[in-house]
Structure 1
């Protein structure tokens, strides 16, 4: 796609699990940037970083950084001491996360994001140049976390993305990007509900689209979001199937008392990115001390292995595989076998849906919230546009079918629609009307 930098708009869907980048030109064409990884051409760049030191001869060790699937390659190679960090978007709005130490260096959230963006550009097949372009960045309606600080997250985004050298930078709600992609194909006026299910958040927008003189006009009627999504559903499986086999609920002896292993260690399993932090925040040392006085030390030793051998990624894949199977089958065989850790179980869809029922209820409440903010009822919604992998979870699909009917639901590419929409928004002469002007 050849065009002058000032004519190009770049949409960045920086996601919890994957990041997708699209480029649009004035002629209305848009394409997703691909990444050649071995024999594969990938449209999604895994949101992960791997840090390691490389020493040549007797010289000072040099810090190396890789991102995306290349970060995973380095993790799996395991040829040197390293730090692997994934899903770090979840830290964006956390005031309690100030920095992490990586091989004697201090990294704030914006430093991690800048490092990640550098690796993204370096692997972009030479077709990813932000200099002088119009940059449109997606952001969730509600950031993940128990007490997310919206303003802090946006300051951190601005610092990291500001280093890319774009001519202009606009922030747009992620579901609005998805809505624009969908609306670009509309041939009539419509009121649309967009439900964007990511890894860390579920975001909803109601948009009114109208065409006048061949131009697409849009009015955002309301937005709402909740910090519940795919990672939350994953954790329900971990909490019921994995954690009990790693010592959750078991006891240790302290002098003449029997006490329960503190549950905060297992909360780390709710957030994949936290597992790597356990090596440096004292949690791993705490587990090792508890194993010496535990009544069932073998279980804690398995937990220690998960952290010590960086098995979080393998665990994440096993959980995701089971969840995906349950989207089309009534049972799933869960299997996680790494080193001395052997956890196998059969999960039924009925049990899984019982585990996630409170989460689905909160998502339903958020749908109520966005409709109330928009001032429209369910009958006024012509189409419901679902995007994101979690939209294929039967319990989520059922929620929308019951409210809006199967005939009003539309699914599209679960990974690329937001990035496409963001890039196309950048070609709008009045792109600022799509921008986020205040916190959700």
Structure 2
């Protein structure tokens, strides 16, 4: 790949729905990841989360943390905190005006700047020097039924203005493609599939042989608002919630009625479960338990809420999803005060739950190919990245369209940031940037 100006300093930021990763390039043709000494151990993955709590000693009476530190603060004091995760999913949502945090209203860009301030602080010496430019990854398609890319761009501009330098936006799979292309010694056509927490994105790039005036040429992209978070919820909804009463019944006088789904809505986001731990909700659930035909299931739901087990419950869901990537069967186990759940699940069952999602992902791959004017047999390499790329059903989706020998993977959580930093060193950087209103 081209080498940038000596001494040029670029930061590549993969600002993800679930995790964020930062890489630094210094003009020597390579890039390295920024490590964070988090409470649960040093690593390059920084959770895209915020936690707020009231503190009169702080300016404005509001304290906050981000990343794994935010999770630690929330778990220590959930009732006195306001936890936000996956806020990136609101970037292109015109109906989202602000998040109410205690008595303050914070717009998306304000949340973003607070997040970046903590990201910079926890990055240590690596993040103290002012960069010449930053290259930010963005989805090919934002999450939401009617995403507004122009609104997302304006919000990103206001958020990343914190750096006080040039800001460039590159489709996330193009970042991964750029990094992968640096491994190639021959001309090739490359498809990159990036599976994040909120979106699955696909880009096709023509890679010329080393020494070409322009080594990489983007050909087409497509995306869909389905990814790892959706797969987690499929497990929660199909495997776990029935053991907490979903789909069950209760007696009302001489009738037997199905338990309303509204009781389980907040299980879509573990941090919202803390809000259910209030006298009114718990009293209502206690009444439901007395009339339920399976009171033990409602008792398990009450135990999750009373003992603030939402985060641990979703961690267990993630563990079983990962186990099914390498095993044909897995056991979901979860225990806490007044609670013990165990259930076996097969990979076949899981794949049946996510089948509608896989169909939409397949359609997005076909859209990317059509946009590039290419057939599947004209793709020389397929690079799969992102955590959900490890799911066998996802991999088979690509094996059914492309020869298995053409499929590669690796650095599932960090390849995008690494490639974005390298893109920032390319003299032809404008050719890689995403259109402002797209």
> TM-score scaled to structure 1, two decimals?
0.89
Q: Which residue of 1 aligns with 2:15?
A: 14
The one of 164, 186, 195 aligned to 1:188: 186
Q: Which residue of 2 aligns with 1:125?
A: 124
Task: Note the C-alpha offset of 1:31.
Answer: 0.8
What are the superposed Cα offsets for residues 35-87 of structure 1, whole Å, 9 maximum, x if unpaired? 1135832111111122223467xx99942211112122223333872222222
- Paired with 2:370 and 2:258, the residues of 1 have a C-alpha distance of 44
| 2:205 aligned counterpart, secondary structure | strand
1:54-133 aligned within 5 A = 54=55, 62-78=61-77, 81-129=80-128, 131-133=130-132
Task: Note the C-alpha offset of 1:34.
Answer: 0.6
Contact 1:52 1:80 in 2 (8 A): no
Q: Which residue of 2 aligns with 1:217?
A: 215
| 1:224 aligned counterpart, secondary structure | strand
**1:110 to 1:187, Cα distance in 2 relative to 1, 3 A:** same
- Paired with 1:20 and 1:371, the residues of 2 have a C-alpha distance of 28
Q: Which residue of 2 aligns with 1:406?
A: 404
Task: Note the C-alpha offset of 1:413.
Answer: 0.4
| 1:118 aligned counterpart, secondary structure | helix
| 2:72 aligned counterpart, secondary structure | helix
What are the superposed Cα offsets for residues 181-215 of structure 1, whole Å, 9 maximum, x if unpaired? 00122111111010001111110011111146355
Task: Note the C-alpha offset of 1:301.
Answer: 5.6
**1:361 to 1:4, Cα distance in 2 relative to 1, 3 A:** closer
Q: Which residue of 2 aligns with 1:241?
A: 239
- Paired with 2:198 and 2:322, the residues of 1 have a C-alpha distance of 17
Task: Note the C-alpha offset of 1:148.
Answer: 2.4
Q: Which residue of 1 aligns with 2:133?
A: 134
1:41-56 aligned within 5 A = 41-54=42-55
Task: Note the C-alpha offset of 1:5.
Answer: 12
- Paired with 2:183 and 2:53, the residues of 1 have a C-alpha distance of 46
| 1:41 aligned counterpart, secondary structure | strand
Contact 2:208 2:215 in 1 (8 A): yes
Q: Which residue of 2 aligns with 1:321?
A: 319
- Paired with 1:196 and 1:45, the residues of 2 have a C-alpha distance of 18
Contact 2:5 2:27 in 1 (8 A): no
| 2:237 aligned counterpart, secondary structure | helix
- Paired with 2:284 and 2:136, the residues of 1 have a C-alpha distance of 45
RMSD (CA atoms): 2.9
Deviates more, 1:382-391 or 1:240-249: 240-249
What are the superposed Cα offsets for residues 278-317 of structure 1, whole Å, 9 maximum, x if unpaired? 559x9x9567546535632664464455456543321221
**1:379 to 1:103, Cα distance in 2 relative to 1, 3 A:** same
Contact 1:8 1:25 in 2 (8 A): yes
Q: Which residue of 2 aligns with 1:432?
A: 430
Task: Note the C-alpha offset of 1:92.
Answer: 2.1
| 1:127 aligned counterpart, secondary structure | helix
**1:339 to 1:84, Cα distance in 2 relative to 1, 3 A:** farther
- Paired with 1:42 and 1:271, the residues of 2 have a C-alpha distance of 25
**1:439 to 1:268, Cα distance in 2 relative to 1, 3 A:** farther
What are the superposed Cα offsets for residues 71-124 of structure 1, whole Å, 9 maximum, x if unpaired? 222233338722222222222222333222222222222222221111111111
Q: Which residue of 2 aligns with 1:361?
A: 359
**1:18 to 1:79, Cα distance in 2 relative to 1, 3 A:** closer
**1:179 to 1:288, Cα distance in 2 relative to 1, 3 A:** farther
- Paired with 2:254 and 2:97, the residues of 1 have a C-alpha distance of 39
Deviates more, 1:333-342 or 1:354-363: 333-342
- Paired with 1:405 and 1:79, the residues of 2 have a C-alpha distance of 49
Q: Which residue of 2 aligns with 1:32?
A: 33
Unmatched tracts of structure 2, length 5 or more: none
Deviates more, 1:200-209 or 1:397-406: 397-406
Deviates more, 1:89-98 or 1:321-330: 89-98
Number of residue-to-residue matches in the alignment: 432
**1:288 to 1:205, Cα distance in 2 relative to 1, 3 A:** farther
**1:435 to 1:79, Cα distance in 2 relative to 1, 3 A:** closer
Task: Note the C-alpha offset of 1:250.
Answer: 3.2
Deviates more, 1:341-350 or 1:174-183: 341-350
Q: Which residue of 2 aligns with 1:229?
A: 227
Contact 1:191 1:383 in 2 (8 A): yes
- Paired with 1:287 and 1:363, the residues of 2 have a C-alpha distance of 39
**1:21 to 1:336, Cα distance in 2 relative to 1, 3 A:** same
Contact 2:222 2:364 in 1 (8 A): yes
